[in-house]
Each structure stands twice: as structure tokens, then as C-alpha cells.
Structure 1
Amino acid sequence: MNYSRQVLASVVWLSATIGWAAYRPNVIVIYTDDQGYGDVSALNPEAKFQTPNMDRLAKEGIVFTNGHSADSVCTPSRYALLTGRYPWRTVRKRGVLGAEAKGMIADGRMTLASLFKENGYHTAMVGKWHLGMDFPGTSKKRDWSQPVRDMPLDKGFDYFFGIPASLNFGVLAWFEGRYAKVPPTLLTAKKKNPRHMDYRIMPPYDREKGMEVAPDFIDNECLTRFTDKAIEWLGGKVEDAKNGKPFFLYLPYTSPHYPVCPLPEFHGKGEAGAYGEFVIETDYRIGQVLDFLESAGIDENTLIVFSSDNGPEKSWPGRLEEYGHDSRGGLRDGKRSVYEGGQRVPFMVRWPAGIKQPGRRWDQVVCQTDLLATFADLLGVALPENAGEDSQSFAPVLLDPQADYARVPFISHDSSDFRYAITEGNWKLILPSNQKAAELYDLSTDRAETQNVAANHPEKVDALQKKISLLMARGRSTPGAAQPNDTGYWKDLTWMTEKEYNELAP
């Protein structure tokens, strides 16, 4: 089926029904950090805490039960979300960036922000970046009167308020635009967290060595400040949104990533300790955004995507044992893993004016890389060949409950053992690596990946291995002209030789 024609027909219908200016939706992408599939009560009937605002997104939108991040850790997932391209196509094949690093998004590469900006949208990011920044000077000698470079304002965003990376990487200050409101001139180390098994980042800051931190920075203020700044920015765009100039807001929260530090007013809520309280606070902040949209009269035509960058951090087994709360939602493993618990995440879309038959579930695969093509479809624009190479529009699913839609094979990545996997329909093949043999799972009957059936289906193993080799080497997994990866063959592709890779590459 020609998806673009299907979407175009729906666009014409919507614009005729509610007007073209009203049709072009405002867009908010809310991105949580290390939140597992089972950390939304609408997705987990056995959850030990309730998330009424996340549940509202599910009830009033579409739940993508088979929605995935593109990697099982933070930096690569964020790259993929914003660019529509798998992160291992870049020079960075493993791990995450520090706060200070060469930006992972190359200059000139299309992002969600640049797509919207080029199409007349206001664009903003409020929250955690973690894709590299160029700070003035060095950690030994900073000049905070100089601007930060290679950061969100250089990737399509008109406005930025937030922090550079995860809190354990330092350079912690409240940045607005290219400058820290209060410069990070002090040093600190992690402090013991009395309410969780991780750490805190809070005063007093008085060390001679450690992470750079601003004197006014406190870890448990992140959710409050991000939400307040997001609503403040949205408040200045309401009239434009009502008069044909919509907005795009990227709101990546820091929770429930370590440090687990809910504000005191959330202590005692839920039945899963401090972690549950932190998710409850996150849900409350999302509710504040929803309440603002409704009070401002722009709720109907605001499309909200809610998802998480990867599965739950390694504290999940203790939480399961102590409280009976399964942050994985019955999936296998968590953060850093190639198994489903590492990258099958909460994934919901709410858009009252556009989604037909809200309250639906969609059980086929979608990936966060797909947002770029989906939004381009809704805007009626074509992506260039060198953008969104792994992005397939799921706009038909939003606009048509009977959509004939199936995604191209999805590739996932293990950030611990550096293994790759390919999922096509219900079949998932984890590629052999070092001393580990190939694993094949039928997710239609075994979503927890308990039965490796590779020995029973050698033909399926062979077919999927050939597909992943081609999709990785040709620089894109979607239809279109092959594109070069940013590097040649790399050592983690253990199932094929460099010669085989080069024969498939453009």
C-alpha cells in the first residue's frame, strides 16, 4: 500500500473538516529516562503504583504495545529519536557520551527540530540533552562568559533550557540558551542516598576534585524546573498556535534515572519505595503539562508522544523481590540488554483532533526512529534521501484504525555485550557474538524470550541474518537510495566478515 497517499487522503479530510491551520498539530515529545514497560499502570495490571496521567495518554490515544527505543542506553536512543537514524551508523558504536563531548548529531543532519522549524514551527527543548556539548575552556580553566557550542540551538531548536547529560556526568547547572544561569564553578562527588540504593547530587559542594557543579544546583529540582520552564515557553506560544503557527516541544525528563530523588511531598505514595514515588512525581509533572494545554484551549490539536529511552536500571530485581513490582512488565532483562526488557518501552500517542478511535492498542513493531517520517507525513513533506534512513511513518495507524501497516525489520542493540538483534514481525534473531550462539524467539508466543528456537528454524536464522547484514551495510533499513554509514566495517559485526560487509555497502 502507498502509505503517503493514505496519509494524504486523511490530511485532506482533516483540513477540510477542521481547517488547515488547525490541522497542523502542535507536537510535544515527552521522553522519560530508564522507565520500564511495567512502570506505567495502564500497561502493568500488577503495578505497585498508579500513573493516572500516563494512563490518560493511553486511554485517550493509542498504546503501541510493541514500541521500541533504538538502543538500550541513553545517548544512542536520543540520537535515534531525534534523527530517525540508528545510532551505530555513526562513529560511536558503543556506550554513552559524557557531558562534554563532540556532538553526536552531525552539523546539517535533519532532526525533529529542524524538520519542524523548516515548516514554520516554534521549536524548543527543555530537559536533559546527553548528545554532547562544547563548553568554553577546559575543566581546569573555564570561561563561562563565553557561549556553549555544538548543542541544541545548533540542531534546530530555537530555545533550550536544561542540563547537558545524566547527573552523574557533571557540568551540572541550569543552562538557558548557550549560557549557565549560575556557572558550574564548584566541584562535588556523589553523596549517599538514604532512600534508595544509588546516590544524590546536592549541597554542600566543597570538594577539590569531582564533578563540575553550580552552587544553586540540586538534583531533586529537575522535574519541577523542567516542567515550569516548559509551561512558561508554551504559554508564550498559545496565541501563535491558535493562529496558524504551531510549536514543537521536546521534553526529556531525568526521571526515573538515578539519582532517585522524589520531592518530600511524594514520599509515602505508592507501594514500591522511592522509585515508585519518583515515577509518581514524573506522572504528576506530565499532568501539569496536560492541564496547561487544556486551560489554554490548545489541547485538541496538540499531538503528544510519550516514551522512554530504554528499559529499567539494574535496581529492578530488588524492587521485584521487595515490593512485587516488575518494572520490566514481564519482559526479559532491562537497561543495556538486547532482550525485550532493554528496549521495549512505554510508547503512546495522544492527539484528540487527529487520532481516529482513541483508546486503541497497536501490537505491531514501531520504533522511536519512526517519529521523523511520521511527522513529515503529517506535514505533507518528503524526507530527503540522506535523512531518516531508519524512519518509517506510522501516520496511517493514527489516522485509520484499519490501516494496512507493517514495519520494515527493526534492529536493536545490546550496550553490555554489544550484540545486535533483528525483529521482523513476530520473529526476533539475536546475532551470534564471541562465545554466544545465535538465539531465535517467536515473540507472538514468548514475549519473555524464554525459549530459544534457533535449532528448530535454521532457515529463519539464515534469512534474518542475511537481512540484517544488508540493512546494516547499505546505510538504511527503509526503502530508498543506499547511504554510507559514517564508518566502514566494525568489530562487533562478528557474524560477517569485512569483505562481506564491503560487498553489501554502497
Structure 2
Amino acid sequence: MSLAALLMAGAQAGTAGDEPPPGSGAPNVVFILADDVGYGDLGAYGGKVPTPNLDRLARQGMRFTDAHSPAALCAPSRFSLMTGSHPYRNGRPGGSWDINNSSGFSHNGARTRAGRHITVGEVMRAAGYRTAFFGKMHLGGDVYDSEGRVIRDKNALNTMDFSRGIGDGPDRHGFDYWLGLPSGIQHEPYAYFENGRFAPVDPARPADNSSTRLLEDGFYLVSGNGLSEIVEAAKVPARGDVDYDSSQAGIRLTDAAVDFIDRHVEENRERGRERPFLLYFASQAIHVPHSPPFDFDGDPSTIDEQVYGRTGAMTSDVLYELDLQVGRIVAKLEEEGIADRTLIFFTSDNGALWPHVAHYGDPAHDNNGPFRDYKASVYEGGHRVPFIARWGDGTAGGSVVPPGTVSDQLIMGQDWVATMYQLTGQDMQEDQALDSVSLLPVLTGRQPEDEPLREFALYQGGDAYEGAIREGSLVLVVDDKAGARELYDLAADPAQEHDLSGLPAYRETVARLHRKFLTYNDHRDDTVEPRTTRPFRRGPPGRDGRIPRPGPAVP
């Protein structure tokens, strides 16, 4: 069956059920989320640190120049990237952060008909996909003390009973398998959890408190393949796995993702039928602590793939490691002969790191391009991020996404969620994925570049109540008291140096955009704001319906 026929069949097979029909050709999906990677960090976006694997993805797919994270900080963005809804939709605009907070998907779920915020894992599992999550969470959940009481005080997390594991985790929200660091490498518990159970680094150790210890700020030599660093336990010692090593997190997570692909392919062979998978990979890189491994293959006796010292600075070493993680996952897809049937996304949870945190080996490296400010800022540098999509074998004739293409469409990171609804042919519930629009028309070349995919977009700054609204090239910044503050025209002023809000010619524009922002995000009351995007509904073949034919000769 040709690639075109496979894709058409996959599109028509996307109805809810146990799994797609045999031979449906529904593509595998790999979503890779970086941590704190800015617009100018990758070579494909002008960066100077070597990122050959990500640059290859861009050459073989589509690179977006006007993509934005939902928020300028990681935790709120991570809720949105899972649900397609803005961070404030669950009443927790600042995000769920550490594991002492309840699940962001369950929080305020009573506002929805489903009783929870439906994740992309649930969407894909309903279409018959096997689903897996790996990496940094910051999604909340339930942990317990020795008496079985839920811990909500962050300073009491070091009393956590590891043998009780984590409740209300990703396994309760659409993922068949998960291996994660509940708060990344920067917050406790410094340990991995697998399907809700404590998973010691050394599998021979018991999965209980005897395999943990208290950790304080500083460096720890654990594995011999890098220096582990703890940076957030100065006031209250934090509990973690006795073998926890921040420098090995990327290796362990990548190994687990590759193992998942191995197991899945083998199970497909045994079953004699192709079942697609969704792999959500949330890398620890490049968030602090910047503790790269000496060698990416994990064996300190030989240096086969040097990381530490590779670029001349710890931050850029970890950026280089991120690229190795992506390269290893893509190489596994190619090794198994399924890369041409896999849709790969890459993006970041927020904008570039602040200069005082990000020290790069190449002094010419500009991690933010021409944009103003950095992570946690409401300005462009806080949320404009790389976004790459590849679907196919990287050739013009064997790809759905035309290789080597660049799109200037305004998109949001959470738009990939609506893309999955359309990919699998599932209607959105009216109160789910409230702020997500499918990228398929753009990815397949059916949306003209001069025809905006989005009418407007909302951004959230580091302060959960500070935001902005973007319409065309105009951006209105709204302060934390919901007042209109500044107006910029990005077409003429991408660095946001010239505030237009005080000019008489823009008075009505400021008032109109301010009213529009408050219609969709007004934190001053308990109003349930309307959707910012139309819910996806299955339609006839074409721009708003099923997947079109691949290749350059799209009619």
C-alpha cells in the first residue's frame, strides 16, 4: 500500500475504540518537549551550539518561526500542552508545580462535563493508540506520609512514604505507561516513579524508604559518569533515591523511551498487526542544574559520546545532550523501519534562559534571537519558542509534511492537541481543548501562508495574572491588575522597543484588544470564559476534514 493510501486509511480509521483496524496506517506520534530552550538555541534557528539532530528534523520537515508556549514558565505550559486549554482553565493559572499539589487534570474538573481535563493521552488511547509518557512532570498528583495522609505542604515532602508511590498520575489520565520525575531534576522527590510506583535507580534495591536519603544543596559523585547537583534544598533537606544522579536523568529517560519503542514493535510483530503509539517525551534539558554526563552512553569506562566539556560551558553541554536524546529516539525509529510512519513534534515549554543562568561555550550564541527578554517574561522572549514537525522519510515524495519548509503562521504549542483530534477523527467536547486549533492544514500545505490559522492568541507571563493578546502583528500587554499596559507592532518592532499605546492613532485598537483579552481571560471574577478556538468537528475531506494526500503535488 502506498504512503498516500496509508495516510488516507489512517485518517478514516480515527474513531474511538480499542484500536485502529489492521493495516489502517495511522501514524505513530512522538512529541518531544524541551525545558527552557529558547528561540535562538537551535542551529536551525541561528544558534551556535551544535544541534545536528534537531537541525536535521527541521531540514526534513517544517520549522515554525512564530510559535509560542502557552506560558512563560514550565508548569502552567505543561498543563496546556497536555490538554489544549490555557493554564487558567482549571482555576490554577500558575500551574501545578510540585507533587504536593493535586493533579492539574483533576483540579476544577467539575467545571467540565467529563469531570476532568481530558489529556492528549486519553484522546489517543480512545483512537486505539498505545500511549507512554517519559520525563519531567510538574503536573501534580497525590503523595502520602507514613500514615497514608496526602501531603500538601511542600516543606513536608521529605516525610513522603515512597512505598506508597504517587496517586492520580498520568496512568489515571490517558497513559498506558509512564516513567517520570514528578518535579523534574530541580525539585524533590529526587527519584523516578513508574506507573505510580517508586522505581529505584538500582533495580535491586527495595522500592521503599530504605532506598532513599536526605539531600542538601551541593554536588554529589554518584555514578562516576557525571556530577549530580542539588540546587533547591537549602532550607529544608530534600528526600531522594540514594542513587539519584541529575547528570544521568537524560540517559535514563532516553533509554526508557527507546525500550518502549522496542517493546511496542515486538508486540506488534507478535500480534501480526500494526498498532500505533504516542510517545510523549519531556526532557529534563536544559533546566538547571546544568549537570551533563561525561559520556552519553552511560559507561564511564569509555567516552563514546562526550557531553561534559563538549561545548565549553555546562549550559550548552546540556543543550548538546538534548540533541543527542532526540537523535537517539529518531535513530531507533529508523532502525525499526517506522520513521516514515511517524509524526514527530519538537518544542519547548517556555522561552530562553536568563543570561545570568545561561552561560554558553560559544560567546556568539544568542539564545533568544532578536526578541525581548527571557523566561518568565510576558514579552516575546518569554514565550516564543522553536517548533518543528516532521512526518515521513524526509524526502519530498515520502513525506506528508513537505521537507525543508518554513511557516510564519502564528501558532501555540498546545495546537498539537487539536491536531491529534483531527488526526484521529475525533470530535472535541465543547468544554475540552478550549484553546487549540489543528495544525494539519499548515503541516500539509493546504493552509495558505497569508491566511492566518488563528484569529488571535493569548500568552501568559511569569506572573500568572500578567498576560498579552496577539492579533496579527499587534501585541497588547495586560498587567497583573487586568489593565492595558503596552502595545507593540511586531512587524515593525520585533524587539518590542516602541510602545504605541499612548499614541492617539492606536487608542481604539488598545481599547478593542483590551476588551477582547478580558472576554477570554479575566481573573477578577469566577467567570468561565468562552473558548478561544472553535472545537474540531469531523468534516468532509479537505482543509477542515481528513488528512490529505502527501507529497509536493497536493491538489
Is TM > 0.5 for Structure 1 vs Structure 2? yes
Q: C-alpha separation between the residues in 2 aligned to 1:466 and 1:11?
A: 45
**CA pair 202-275 structure 1, distance change in 2 beyond 3 A:** closer
1:170 equivalenced with 2:188 (yes/no): yes
State TM-score, norm by structure 2: 0.77
1:394 to 422, 439, 442: 439
Give the partner amino acid of 2:497: T
Q: Kindly indicate whether the alpha-carbon contact (under 8 Å) linking 2:134 and 2:253 is maintained by their aligned counterparts in 1.
A: yes
2:109 corresponds in structure 1 to: none
2:36 corresponds in structure 1 to: 34
Deviations 1:293-337 (A, max 9, x none): 001000001111100100122235864898232111221111100
The aligned length equals 463
Question: RMSD of the alignment, in Å?
Answer: 3.0
Farther off after superposition, 286-295 or 135-144: 135-144
Q: C-alpha separation between the residues in 1 aligned to 2:68 and 2:187?
A: 26
Q: C-alpha separation between the residues in 2 aligned to 1:148 and 1:14?
A: 39
Q: Kindly indicate whether the alpha-carbon contact (under 8 Å) linking 1:220 and 1:261 is maintained by their aligned counterparts in 2.
A: yes
**CA pair 314-356 structure 1, distance change in 2 beyond 3 A:** closer
Q: C-alpha separation between the residues in 1 aligned to 2:160 and 2:220?
A: 30
2:119 corresponds in structure 1 to: 111
2:277 corresponds in structure 1 to: 247
Q: Following TM superposition, by how much is the alpha carbon of 1:267 offset from its aligned partner in structure 2, in angstroms?
A: 2.7
1:226 to 250, 253, 256: 253
**CA pair 385-416 structure 1, distance change in 2 beyond 3 A:** closer
Deviations 1:195-221 (A, max 9, x none): xxxxx7559xx9995111110110001
1:5 corresponds in structure 2 to: none
Q: Following TM superposition, by how much is the alpha carbon of 1:480 offset from its aligned partner in structure 2, in angstroms?
A: 5.7
1:313 to 337, 353, 369: 353
Q: Kindly indicate whether the alpha-carbon contact (under 8 Å) linking 1:102 and 1:134 is maintained by their aligned counterparts in 2.
A: yes
**CA pair 432-109 structure 1, distance change in 2 beyond 3 A:** closer
Give the partner amino acid of 2:311: G
Q: C-alpha separation between the residues in 1 aligned to 2:66 and 2:318?
A: 25
| Counterpart secondary structure, 2:470 | strand
| Counterpart secondary structure, 1:430 | strand
Give the partner amino acid of 1:77: S
Q: Kindly indicate whether the alpha-carbon contact (under 8 Å) linking 2:103 and 2:139 is maintained by their aligned counterparts in 1.
A: yes
Q: Kindly indicate whether the alpha-carbon contact (under 8 Å) linking 1:241 and 1:247 is maintained by their aligned counterparts in 2.
A: no
Q: C-alpha separation between the residues in 1 aligned to 2:511 and 2:215?
A: 52
Farther off after superposition, 429-438 or 211-220: 429-438
If each structure's helix is expressed as a fraction of its own residues, which one has the higher value? 1
1:156 equivalenced with 2:158 (yes/no): no
Gaps of 5+ in 1: 1-9, 195-199, 482-506
Give the partner amino acid of 1:71: A
State TM-score, norm by structure 1: 0.84
Give the partner amino acid of 1:258: V
| Counterpart secondary structure, 1:58 | helix
For 1:54-453, what aligned pairs fall within 5 Å after superposition?
A: 54-94=54-94, 97-106=97-106, 108-137=116-145, 138=151, 139=157, 141-182=159-200, 183=208, 185-191=212-218, 201-202=228-229, 209-239=236-266, 243-264=273-294, 265-270=306-311, 273-315=313-355, 319=359, 323-352=363-392, 355-403=400-448, 404-416=451-463, 418-433=465-480, 438-453=485-500
Identity of aligned residues (%): 32
| Counterpart secondary structure, 1:468 | helix
Q: C-alpha separation between the residues in 1 aligned to 2:262 and 2:84?
A: 29
**CA pair 430-247 structure 1, distance change in 2 beyond 3 A:** same
Deviations 1:212-257 (A, max 9, x none): 1110110001100000000001111125668331000110001100
Q: Kindly indicate whether the alpha-carbon contact (under 8 Å) linking 1:188 and 1:209 is maintained by their aligned counterparts in 2.
A: no
| Counterpart secondary structure, 2:249 | helix
Q: C-alpha separation between the residues in 1 aligned to 2:249 and 2:327?
A: 16
Give the partner amino acid of 1:478: T
Q: C-alpha separation between the residues in 2 aligned to 1:11 and 1:152?
A: 34
Q: C-alpha separation between the residues in 2 aligned to 1:298 and 1:235?
A: 11
**CA pair 16-114 structure 1, distance change in 2 beyond 3 A:** closer
Q: C-alpha separation between the residues in 2 aligned to 1:261 and 1:320?
A: 14
1:7 corresponds in structure 2 to: none
**CA pair 332-241 structure 1, distance change in 2 beyond 3 A:** farther
**CA pair 421-193 structure 1, distance change in 2 beyond 3 A:** farther
Q: C-alpha separation between the residues in 1 aligned to 2:229 and 2:361?
A: 29
